[in-house]
Amino acid sequence: MSFKGSYAGVGTVSFRDMLLKEQILRAIGEAGFEHPSEVQQNAIPFAMVGQDMIIQAKSGMGKTAVFVIATLQQIEPDTDDPSIDTLVLCHTREMAYQVHREFERLGKYIPDVKTGVVYGGVNVAEQKKALTENMPHILVGTPGRVLHFAKDRVIKLNRLKRLVLDECDDMLQTRGMRIQIQEIFKMTPTEKQVMMCSATIGDSARSVCRQISRNAEEIFIDDKKLTLHGLQQHYVEMDEKEKIKKLNDLLDGLDFNQVMVFVKSKERAAALDKVLQQAFFPSISIHSGLKQEERLERYRKFKEYESRVLVSTNLCGRGVDMERVNIVINFDLPKHPDQYLHRVGRAGRFGTKGLAVSFVSGDEDKERLKAIQDRFEVKVTPLPSNIKASSYKN
Ligand code: ADP
Ligand code: MG
Q: Clarify whether residues 47 and 186 are in a common domain.
A: yes
pTM of the model: 0.94
Phi, psi angles (nearest 5°) of residue 208: -65, -45
Distances 266 to 34, 110, 315, 321, 353 between C-alpha atoms, Å:
39, 41, 9, 21, 29
CATH code, domain with 113? 3.40.50.300
CA angle 195, 112, 106 (to 5 degrees): 50
The alpha carbon of 64 and the centre of ligand 1 are apart by a number of angstroms equal to: 7
Question: Each residue's pLDDT tens digit in the chain (394 positions)?
Answer: 333 344 444 557 899 999 999 999 999 999 999 999 999 999 999 999 999 999 999 999 999 999 999 999 999 987 788 889 999 999 999 999 999 999 999 999 999 999 999 999 999 999 999 999 999 999 999 999 999 999 999 999 999 999 999 999 999 999 899 999 999 999 999 999 999 999 999 999 999 999 999 999 999 987 778 888 889 999 999 999 999 999 999 999 999 999 999 999 999 999 999 999 999 999 999 999 999 999 999 999 999 999 999 999 999 999 999 999 999 999 999 999 999 999 999 998 888 999 999 999 999 999 999 999 998 888 999 999 889 999 999 8
User: Looking at residue 6, what is its pLDDT?
Assistant: 47
Q: Clarify whether residues 259 and 121 are in a common domain.
A: no
> Length of the chain in residues, anyone?
394
Number of domains in the chain: 2
Q: Clarify whether residues 276 and 358 are in a common domain.
A: yes
Q: Determine the structural domain holding residue 85 and report its residue range.
A: 16-220
Is 225 within the bounds of a domain? no
Please give all residues whose beta carbon lies within 6 A of any atom in ligand 1, as ranges.
33-37, 40, 57, 59-65, 321, 323, 349-350
User: Looking at residue 80, what is its pLDDT?
Assistant: 80
Q: What is the dihedral of CA 219, 143, 141, 90, to 10 degrees?
A: -30
Residue located nearest, by CA, to atom 18 of ligand 1: 62
DSSP per residue, 7-26: SS-SSPPPTGGGT--HHHHH
Q: Clarify whether residues 100 and 181 are in a common domain.
A: yes
Q: Clarify whether residues 49 and 162 are in a common domain.
A: yes
Residue located nearest, by CA, to atom 2 of ligand 1: 63
Q: Clarify whether residues 202 and 257 are in a common domain.
A: no
Q: Clarify whether residues 199 and 235 are in a common domain.
A: no
Is 214 within the bounds of a domain? yes
Q: Which residues contact 238 (CB under 8 A, 6 or more apart)?
A: 246, 359, 360, 361
User: Looking at residue 11, what is its pLDDT?
Assistant: 56
Is 115 within the bounds of a domain? yes
Cα–Cα distance between 323 and 26 in angstroms, integer?
A: 21
Residue located nearest, by CA, to atom 20 of ligand 1: 62
Ligand 1 closest atom vs CA 57:
3
User: Looking at residue 386, what is its pLDDT?
Assistant: 87
User: Looking at residue 18, what is its pLDDT?
Assistant: 94
